[in-house]
Chains A and B, each alone.
Chain A
Amino acid sequence: MAKSPAVLPLPLSFPPEVPPPTSQAKAETPQPLWLALAFPKLALEAHDGQQRDIPAVAVKEYKGRSVVHTASRLAEMQGVGAGMPVNAAYALCPGLVVYPANEQLQLDRLQQLAVWAEQFTSKINLQSPRALLLEVRGSMKLFGGLPAMLDRIRQQLTEQWQHSFYSAVTPTPMASLLLAFSGQGDVVQDKQHLRSVLGRLSVNRLPIGVKKKQQLRNTGVRLLSDVWRLPREGLARRFGPELVNYLDRTLGLIPDPLDFFASPDEFEAFYEFPMEIHNTDLLFNVARQLLQQLAIFLRQRDACINQCRFQLYHDRQAAASVIIGVRQPTRDQEQLASLLEEHLNRLSLEAPVKSIKLVATDFVPFSPQTLSLFLEPALDQPLDCGESDIETLLEQLQARMGGDVIRTFHSVADHRPENAYRVNEASATKSELIKQQRPFWLLPEPRLLPQKNHQPWFQGPVALIKGPERIQAGWWAGRDVSRDYYIAVDNRGSRLWVFQELSEDQRWYLHGLFA
């Protein structure tokens, strides 16, 4: 008897019709809905400076030759395709720009995209090397329905990331990926329609070996709808159980558990300039974009930062770092950007910058300020906008002028005038000193006054008009002070605070001015 033919015309077709889910089961667990984002040109677009409107290719070593891995749209239009030797590509398109296809770079970019996608859903799966899966059923209502959410994702990917991509939405992850990579852009909300939608695809799209694809084609199977008609056992026997298992997962007949992406604990964003730059304006524009990424990252984690650090990398020279600190934890991108601007205005670049990195490590939980329910007109409450306002001002002053320029002065209980104030420290003890007569200006050091006829002399004769007030203190602290203080007037009308040393030679000093 002859061997059974490859395809048996059995009445039982593959797979059996899915029984419609009972309404009860539906109510219990809503079907997940997977959005697949496929980035066909990721190997090329992962390079930061890559311009989208030039013919370019990413090349890979294959059997000792450089072979085109990914070609940009313009290069494809001139006939360059994947798998072509790079010399042939040059022949077709002389102005070709060539990048290496760096797998690490692609993975990094995919992770950045996953961090970005966390604003839409918490269930994200990385499909290395160039696709993302997002579960959107749970959050699409928040974004105003699926079409609105997809619009938003598309807009951000094109405008902010400038990636070319395909997307598809179906109830199973594998079906979404299949449809996305075939560029169909379908939205299938119900499992029952999966078979007919997928049926249009060619078997070449299946992620199986070239040999098996050839085998399938030899049996006359060209489209997935042909596969659906094949008997399950025969398919498993001839093509291995993996294929049947894959098809089952694609149609949602068996569960398909996925690992979810967990974003890293620290924030890092990196940008490599297409050329070395000398200009802080350009630097600022890029840094601003990095800050925007940081702001999104912080909002997703409901966190804020006390400081972040920019690293500027030079060629053959140690990296320079710019640290931006704030007085109050923040996640406000504009605030950070304005502080950065102050830093950059003061910064002189020692060498051209090749790349820039933004790092933030320590996160603080975000505690929002409570706003009033009713919008009061701002003009009526000029006094109320207080603290945060002044904090911003002080931060800006500090950022621009350096930390030690800003000071506050407070009084300290000490009878020696030069010790009776303290810089930059809040002192709670207000002493009796306050009750006494003191000038508003104090000289940093008492100034020795020359004497004429035993009278002090300061740009002219000085007339004593009140005093003396004796101050003797501090002998225990090594700075012994025993002086007689007078209030005096010089010949031009300034009121001075002068003293005479009681020790030895009784010299006169100027110590302050009554302004």
Chain B
Amino acid sequence: MNSQLQSLLENNPRIWRAKDRGRYIETGTPSGHPQLDATLPGGGWPANAIMEMVTPQWGMGELQLLLPLMRTITQQKRWILWVSPPYVPYAPALERAGIDMDYVVIIQPDDSCKDAFWGIEKALQTRACALVLAWMDWLPNAVVRRLQLAAETGNSLGVLLRHRDNEHSPAALRLHLHPSDKGVYVKVLKARGSYRYRSVHVNLQLH
């Protein structure tokens, strides 16, 4: 092979080749759950990306999974935006879990999806806002792709929580959550830079 081409392929971190997938390491943010970190490429939540969590219903431990991350972020005095949460967030419980509610902002746009998309995009682009959680079921792929770009600009993570699975979603990481007695089964549906589609059981301190 042409030596110039060779060096380009080897030195450019943006080019990913299937044959040496071990080399591709996108450093992730530790999720705080060792079992999960071992499964996710990069050893944690992806940085600057969009992630999807598909759960059949709310209340399965989806927030518990994100708790350590939210704790770290508010300790760093960066902001978290919640978009259209399905219920009222219970402040005492979240504070008990170590989240500084001073850095959590919740927006509840009325029915218009456009406003919500726009808000998510703006928040992802804002550097001070490190995490955006959005409870939205209807998200066209084009919008997800756009949000992905916004997350890269703003160096932030966007988490989309939804009931329905969209196989063709361009999100960087897609997880399916399934309840269990002692925690939650996390099935990796798609992870950028990895073939390992496996599931893992994460123990959560439920009570």
- Known interface pairs A385-B128, A435-B96; A405-B107 also in contact (CB < 8 Å): yes
Query: What residues on A are CB-neighbors of B96 within 8 Å?
Result: 433-436, 438
A438 to B89, CA, bound (A): 11
A443 touches B88 (CB 8 A): yes
A441 touches B101 (CB 8 A): no
Residues of chain A touching chain B, judged by Cβ–Cβ distance below 8 Å, are 382-383, 385-387, 389-390, 392-394, 396-397, 400-401, 405-411, 417, 420-422, 426, 430-431, 433-444, 465-466, 487, 492-496, 512-515
A405 touches B60 (CB 8 A): no
Q: Which of A397, A410, A444, A514 contacts B107 (CB 8 A)?
A: A397
A441 touches B88 (CB 8 A): yes
CB distance from B155 to the nearest CB of A (A): 6
A439 touches B90 (CB 8 A): yes
Docked complex: B84-120 residues within 8 A CB-CB of A: 85-97, 101-102, 104-110, 115, 118-119
Q: Is B45 an interface residue (CB 8 A)?
A: no
For this complex, 26 residue pairs linking A to B, each with C-beta atoms less than 8 Å apart, are A383-B76, A387-B128, A389-B128, A390-B79, A390-B129, A393-B122, A401-B115, A405-B107, A409-B106, A410-B91, A410-B102, A411-B92, A434-B92, A434-B93, A437-B207, A438-B92, A440-B90, A440-B97, A441-B58, A441-B88, A442-B90, A443-B87, A495-B60, A495-B206, A514-B64, A515-B60
Q: Which of A396, A407, A496 contacts B106 (CB 8 A)?
A: A407
B64 touches A410 (CB 8 A): no
Query: What residues on A are CB-neighbors of B93 within 8 Å?
Result: 434, 438-440
B101 touches A494 (CB 8 A): no
B207 touches A408 (CB 8 A): no
Query: What residues on A are CB-neighbors of B155 within 8 Å?
Result: 382
Q: Is B50 an interface residue (CB 8 A)?
A: no
A407 touches B105 (CB 8 A): yes
B91 touches A411 (CB 8 A): yes
A409 touches B101 (CB 8 A): yes
Among residues of A, the one whose C-beta sits closest to the C-beta of B180 is A493
Classify chain B's interface size.
35 or more
Docked complex: B42-92 residues within 8 A CB-CB of A: 56-64, 76-79, 85-92
Q: Is B199 an interface residue (CB 8 A)?
A: no
Q: Which of B77, B88, B104 contacts A408 (CB 8 A)?
A: B104
A411 touches B95 (CB 8 A): yes
B107 touches A393 (CB 8 A): no
Query: What residues on B are CB-neighbors of A430 within 8 Å?
Result: 95
A408 touches B102 (CB 8 A): yes
A512 touches B115 (CB 8 A): no
A409 touches B89 (CB 8 A): yes
B119 touches A382 (CB 8 A): no
- Known interface pairs A382-B155, A436-B96, A441-B89; A393-B59 also in contact (CB < 8 Å): no
Query: What residues on A are CB-neighbors of B57 within 8 Å?
Result: 492, 494
Q: Which of A396, A406, A515 contacts B122 (CB 8 A)?
A: A396
B87 touches A393 (CB 8 A): no
CB distance from B182 to the nearest CB of A (A): 11
A372 to B203, CA, bound (A): 46
A409 touches B87 (CB 8 A): no
CB distance from A398 to the nearest CB of B (A): 9
Query: What residues on B are CB-neighbors of A433 within 8 Å?
Result: 92, 96
CB distance from B47 to the nearest CB of A (A): 11
Q: Is B179 an interface residue (CB 8 A)?
A: yes
